[in-house]
Chain A
């Protein structure tokens, strides 16, 4: 016997994503979803940016996603902002249900922006809507200038791209021109931010963008 179902399987995720988006919108809170490979420097970007954004008066909370350990949350907690670590086990991405649950743990009345650091992965996190205002791609010089061509989806969805470890460019064969051309071939209105978390170069421009 055949039973017609026609049920949207992703609906469960999307319902949670919409709930989070509505909740935060009502409170005037921006939600950012940072996506990048393991080792791209996502946590280092947060470590650099959070104190600068706090100086501007922005009240930030962070959700850390990793397969295992609370190491990243510990690094962020030192900066004296609310932080929750989600461990996904072998899961390759965060989903909207997890984010919705965590939101209830934050003092939302005292927060202007929540930043999600997704599980280190350039592929899977892109496909799961978390209710964020925008996805931000974080990629490092040492990953190579052809990564946008090889993993294009995130660069199509993220208008903002942060290129980290730019202080290492002289020691690699990374071509900023090739990288920019690759990005523009996917999305012409890409906003590229160059950053070195070691020297602090590029931090000021990024603060302005986050502050928007």
Chain B
């Protein structure tokens, strides 16, 4: 369950920001997560709940996720396509020689505090 590692990383970033100011309440955290990381949304929420449990500032805070689509590039013909159904072969030339161009990001975009 690598969601816990991901949430731990997000939480570290959020805590650093919370500690940097006089904030009493965390309301929302906007994150951008690459689709290719294969994160299960329900697990993410569960881990978020667990990790924020001991910090009164974060009670009832919400993790808002924006998924970054996975974009694949064919090394042979340079065609690009959005990754669906785990297809790695190029829909244009048929060759299986691709690299993942986008979809592995994990960013904390902004946080909302009081």
A interface, CB within 8 angstroms of B: 1-10, 12-13, 90-93, 95, 123-124, 127-128, 149, 152-153, 156, 184-189
Contacts and interface: CB of A to CB of B under 8 A. Distances in A.
Contacts, number: 87
Given A124-B1, A187-B96, 12 more contacts: A1-B112, A1-B113, A2-B110, A3-B21, A5-B110, A6-B108, A7-B13, A7-B108, A8-B105, A91-B5, A95-B5, A187-B97
- Interface on chain B toward A: helix, strand, loop, or mixed SS? mixed
B92 interface: no
B38 A2 contact: no
Nearest to B100: A156
Contacts of A149: 86
A186 B96 contact: yes
A5 B12 contact: no
Contacts of A3: 17, 21, 110-113
B62 interface: no
A91 B1 CA distance: 7
Interface of B: 1-2, 4-6, 9-10, 12-13, 17, 21, 31, 36-38, 86, 88-89, 95-98, 100, 104-114
A188 B107 contact: no
Nearest to A93: B2
A153 B105 CA distance: 16
A127 B111 contact: no
A156 to B, nearest CB: 5
Contacts of B9: 9-10, 12-13
A8 B6 CA distance: 11
B96 A127 contact: no
Contacts of B113: 1-3
B111 to A, nearest CB: 5
Contact of B1 (A12, A92, A189): A92
Nearest to A90: B1
Contacts of B111: 2-3, 5
A6 B38 contact: no
A92 B3 CA distance: 10
A10 B109 contact: no
